[in-house]
């Protein structure tokens, strides 16, 4: 805890004064442009990765960057997605997986999780990705995990499109969906190209989008 408290004190004495006008503005309003959904992994820091200031990202973090399909008993993820889209009006949603993901490693290796019933139940929301990944041949365990991480991003993009607020925003041409995979060791990010369903370098293809907003129909 000492490191955290020291960090708070440093923030108050150094970082906060440099952004005092920004925080004064943010004290009563927020207008983030992007909902960023990623893993709870301590090595993945959305604001650092994207170099965004406070107020620019609305963030969901959980084990495996999972978005359950919309259902009769929506949970915290569903509520946060709905608020971001229907109230804050974000124009982009990013679902970001990452290398060496513990949740995806457990799925890809069929690791027994009887001692972790809550985790096991949560990862059922990645079942479609697991089935696809298991149907393929992989040259190594590392390749199997890499494929699982990517298939999970694709699966969660499908899941999020079952949410009414997301579908409505898409229908109105107001929302783009993005699927990313972040490599911790190199800092590289790959993005899902919706046309080819392949992951490509975001640095080389910065306009890549998984599901682009529809062109609004003319009345």
pLDDT in tens, 44-58: 999 999 999 999 999
Among residues of the chain, what percentage have pLDDT more than 90? 92
pLDDT at residue number 215: 76
Higher-confidence residue of 113 and 129: namely 129
Catalytic residue among 6, 31, 43, 141: 43
96 is a catalytic site residue: no
Catalytic residue among 98, 125, 150, 163: 98
pLDDT at residue number 217: 55
- Give every CB contact of residue 23 below 8 A, 6+ residues apart in sequence: 16, 54
- Give every CB contact of residue 11 below 8 A, 6+ residues apart in sequence: none
101 is a catalytic site residue: yes
Domain ranges of the chain: 31-201
43 is a catalytic site residue: yes
Catalytic residue among 39, 150, 163, 178: 39
Catalytic residue among 96, 101, 144, 163: 101
39 is a catalytic site residue: yes
98 is a catalytic site residue: yes
Q: Residue 105: which pLDDT band, with cuts at 50, 70 and 90?
A: very high
From 3.40.1050.10, 1.10.3720.10, 3.90.1640.10, 3.60.15.10, which CATH number describes the 31-201 domain? 3.40.1050.10
pLDDT in tens, 159-185: 999 999 999 999 999 999 999 999 999
Is the full-model pTM beyond 0.85? yes
């Amino acid at each position: 805890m000492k490191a955290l408290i020291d960090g708070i004190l440093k923030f108050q004495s150094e970082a906060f004064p440099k952004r005092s006008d920004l925080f004064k503005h943010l004290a009563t309003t927020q207008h983030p442009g992007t909902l960023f959904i990623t893993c709870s992994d301590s090595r993945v820091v959305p604001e650092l990765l994207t170099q965004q200031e406070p107020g620019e990202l609305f963030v969901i973090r959980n084990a495996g960057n999972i978005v359950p399909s919309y259902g009769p008993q929506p949970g915290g993820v569903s509520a946060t997605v709905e608020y971001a889209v229907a109230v804050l009006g974000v124009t982009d949603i990013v679902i970001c997986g990452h290398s060496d993901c513990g949740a995806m490693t457990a799925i890809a290796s069929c690791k027994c999780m009887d001692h972790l019933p809550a985790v096991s139940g949560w990862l059922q929301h990645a079942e479609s990705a697991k089935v696809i990944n298991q149907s393929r041949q992989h040259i190594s365990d590392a390749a199997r995990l890499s494929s699982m991480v990517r298939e999970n991003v694709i699966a969660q993009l499908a899941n999020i499109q079952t949410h009414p607020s997301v579908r409505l925003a898409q229908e109105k041409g107001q929302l783009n969906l993005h699927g990313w995979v972040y490599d911790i060791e190199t800092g590289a990010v790959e993005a899902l190209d919706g046309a080819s369903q392949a992951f490509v370098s975001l640095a080389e293809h910065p306009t890549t989008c998984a599901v682009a907003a529809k062109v609004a129909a003319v009345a």
